[in-house]
Amino acid sequence: MAGKPLDQLKLDYLIKNAITENLLKTLAERAVEMVKTRTRLGYGVAGEKFAGSQQKLESLKSSTVENRKRKTLHPDTSPKKSNLTDTGQLLDSISYEVSGNRITVFLKGQRNQTVAEYVSDARPFFALSKPEVTRLADLIQKAITTHLSKGK
């Protein structure tokens, strides 16, 4: 017998159709919010770029704390809080695009990309932790299960 059995073809078709553009947009939005929320809480991702371990961001230098005391800061931070939120511009620049079956998460603007490169050595943030990847995988699994149970 050549090719895949009919049941496998139907399953492949159902799964392919469960991954919709709407689902991809939802996944992208959740990924962006996860990075922003985790970072504003003072945590980054160590190790792997994908599914690394969550870790507390490195403390700020005393000179940075003193400098921040003289500035108007974003409401989600304080002078001593290490959360990459001075003005909020960097984290607020995180965006996404969905094209075909691909999600791309990126930083808008060359300045934000440059700042991210500079801070990422001591405070890696632009990645997903293992628990965050698990939560996104759960969303995908739920969408596929829901789609398959409808039998469309």
Output the tens digit of pLDDT for each of the chain's 152 residues.
466 666 767 667 766 777 888 999 999 999 999 999 999 999 999 877 678 899 999 999 999 999 999 999 999 899 999 999 889 999 999 999 999 889 999 999 999 999 999 998 889 999 999 999 999 999 998 988 887 787 65
What is the token pair recorded at 104?
A: 């791309």
Three-state DSSP class for residue 82: coil
Instruction: Give the pLDDT score at 122.
Output: 86
Write down the pLDDT at residue 3: 67
Structure token digits, residue 63: 């000179």
Write the DSSP assignment of the chain as a string of letters: --S--HHHHHHHHHHHHHS-HHHHHHHHHHHHHHHHHHHHTTEEEES-SEEEEEEEPPPPPHHHHHHHHTSPPPTT--TT--SS-SSSHHHHTEEEEEETTEEEEEESSHHHHHHHHHHHTTS--SSEEHHHHHHHHHHHHHHHHHHHHHT-
The pLDDT score that the predictor gives to residue 51 is 81
pLDDT of residue 61: 93
